[in-house]
Structure 1
Amino acid sequence: MSKSKNVWKDFFKDKKHGGHRYSSEEFLSMEAREKLFHLEGGRTLLDFGCGAAELLTYYAPEYEQLLGVDFSESMLKEASKRIEKKKCQNIDLLLADHETLWDNLHFNFDRITAAGVIQYLTFQEIDKFISDASKHLNKDGKIVLFDILDSRLYPLWKIGLFSQNTNGLRILCKTGFEFRTAVSARLKNSPKDILGFAHNPYTIEKIANKHGFKMICVRSMYYEYKYHTIMFRT
């Protein structure tokens, strides 16, 4: 296991929430509706990196069977509580990561999705994830990857360019802070950003095309520095 992978597993080890912009049910419901629009049907769904099932329980009424997967035991404990509270009897949970998941699957899915997860994978790992996912996708199925950090916009968001209270001095200070953080991370041989890697959508599209998928890229409604990818077989 790589050092960066250990860092992220340790980071999420005791987490109990998925890191959504807001934790209110109203916001989670709106975010889920946006994602359901892009998922666009299907009867079975695998949600990789389901976290505390904050979105998964909103997906449940639209699907016959769902599987939530995460590598964090604490997240899955919270997910189990939420599923019971919401009375979602069509959701199963599985403790696994992007490497161990596929050997534990016994059937295929109409939709395979991940929200706010792909930034923790390198391009090589994304390549393998799409390859593995394609083998567990039903005919006419889709792989939908939500909330990927955009390498073109994320750096601008980090220095406060999208903030309501932005000004030149604030941007300059944030730029200096981010530069020092990146240098320190490089010296320590650790990830420069705990939110993971920012990926250019054109590179993701090349990987999708390599595995026989056409890809549509759309902007996130609720995170100005993120995008979604919808992959379907050509």
Structure 2
Amino acid sequence: MSKPKSVWEEFFTGKRSGGHRSSAEEFISKEAREKLFHLDGGKTLLDFGCGAGELLVYYALEYERLVGADFSESMLDEASKRIRARKCENITLILADDKTVWEKLDFSFDRITAAGVIQYLTYEEVDNFISNASEHLNKGGKIVLFDLLDPRLYPLWKIGYFSRNFGCRTLFCKIGFEAFTVVSASLKNRPRDILGYAHKPCTIEKIANKHGFKMEYVQSMYYEYKYHAIMSRE
């Protein structure tokens, strides 16, 4: 008997896009450069929730050996196509979620990262993820969680505060759209917010500290309402 899919597994079934602000290669390359700056070296990397591999193929230019993991078969199919097109022979893809990925790894890493993924995990699941990741991290390694939803800024983004044409009209339109989205999601038994949970930086830092990491908070360059959590040991 197969285990039931989680609400997020069901939601992402058949999806083939990583959900970046823009799918233009110029934007993806800029986003990848920002993330590579914060990853700051290392030779081996695990990209959990690699999606369609948009960032992974750029990481492959800087790392000797990489593993991309995702629970979506359709996403991994797209990632595989992209990897073949870029001739990235140093990447291995595995089908796994945050609970099963660890048993499928056969070596440890200098960097473990996840971009735009942690918002789909509860605080308890984040705790377990960091705990498991720490056991697969080489000495001097880092866990870098990219693009977490900031609960202080995310509501402002949802009402259009960061848009160039923000005003009363934009505000009312955004509020109306959000109300429609909530009602529609309830009727379809879907998540009310497709971007998942907003996590407080202080709570993520407490979890990091619990597992022996210090955490650096960094505001995202390309997503006004997101932040990065860079975790390293003293």
TM-score range, shorter chain: over 0.9
Structure 1 residues 90-113: Cα deviation after superposition (integer angstroms, max 9, x where no partner): 000000000111111111100000
Q: Is 1:159 paired with 2:159? A: yes
Note the C-alpha offset of 1:51.
Answer: 0.6
Cα 1:124–1:186 change in 2 (3 A) is farther
Aligned mates of 2:219, 2:72 — CA distance in 1? 28
| Structure 1 CA distance for aligned equivalents of residues 187 and 72 of structure 2 | 28
Letter in 1 for 2:13: K
Could you state the TM-score of these two structures normalised by the residue count of structure 2? 0.93
Matches within 5 A, 1:187-206: 191-206=191-206
Q: Which moved more, 1:10-19 or 1:130-139?
A: 10-19
Shift of residue 21, structure 1, vs aligned partner: 0.7
What corresponds to 2:221 in structure 1? 221
Question: In structure 2, how many angstroms separate the alpha carbons of the residues matched to 1:156 and 1:74?
Answer: 32
After superposition, the CA RMSD in angstroms is 2.0
Matches within 5 A, 1:50-129: 50-129=50-129
The Cα offsets for residues 102-157 of structure 1, whole Å up to 9 and x where unpaired, read as 11111110000000000000001000000000000000000000011111100110
Q: CA deviation at 1:89?
A: 0.5
Structure 1 residue matching 2:6: 3-state secondary structure = helix
Partner of 1:25: 25
Tell me by how many angstroms 1:16 deviates: 1.1
Distance in 2 of aligned mates of 1:169 and 1:52: 36
Please say which of residues 178-187 and 102-111 is displaced more in the overlay: 178-187
Q: Kindly provide the CA deviation profile for residues 31-58 of structure 1, in whole angstroms up to 9, marking residues without a partner as x.
A: 1000000000000000000011100000
Question: Which amino acid is 1:206 matched to?
Answer: K
Name the SS of the counterpart of 2:140 in structure 1. strand
**Deviation for aligned residue 1:182:** 4.6
The aligned residue for residue 43 of structure 2 is: 43
Q: CA separation in 1, counterparts of 2:212 and 2:179?
A: 39
Task: Determine helix, strand or coil for the equivalent of 2:60.
Answer: helix
| More off after superposition, 175-184 vs 66-75 | 175-184
- Return 16-25 or 140-149, whichever deviates more: 16-25
Amino acid at match of 2:64: E
Alignment partners' CA distance in 1, 2:15 and 2:189: 24
Q: Name the stretch that deviates more: 186-195 or 18-27.
A: 186-195
**Structure 1, unpaired ranges of 5+:** none
Q: Offset of 1:8 from its aligned partner? A: 1.4
Q: Structure 1 CA distance, aligned partners of 2:82 and 2:140? A: 31
- Give secondary structure in 2 for the equivalent of 1:175: helix
1:26–1:187 Cα change, 3 Å:
closer
Q: Which runs of 5+ in 2 are unaligned?
A: none
Corresponding position of 1:175: 175
Deviation at 1:169, TM superposition (A): 3.2
Change (3 A) 1:187 1:26: closer
| Residues in 2 aligned to 1:176 and 1:88: alpha-carbon distance in whole angstroms | 45
Post-superposition Cα deviations, 1:166-204, rounded to whole Å, max 9, x if no partner, equal: 112321342354356557767987532111001111110
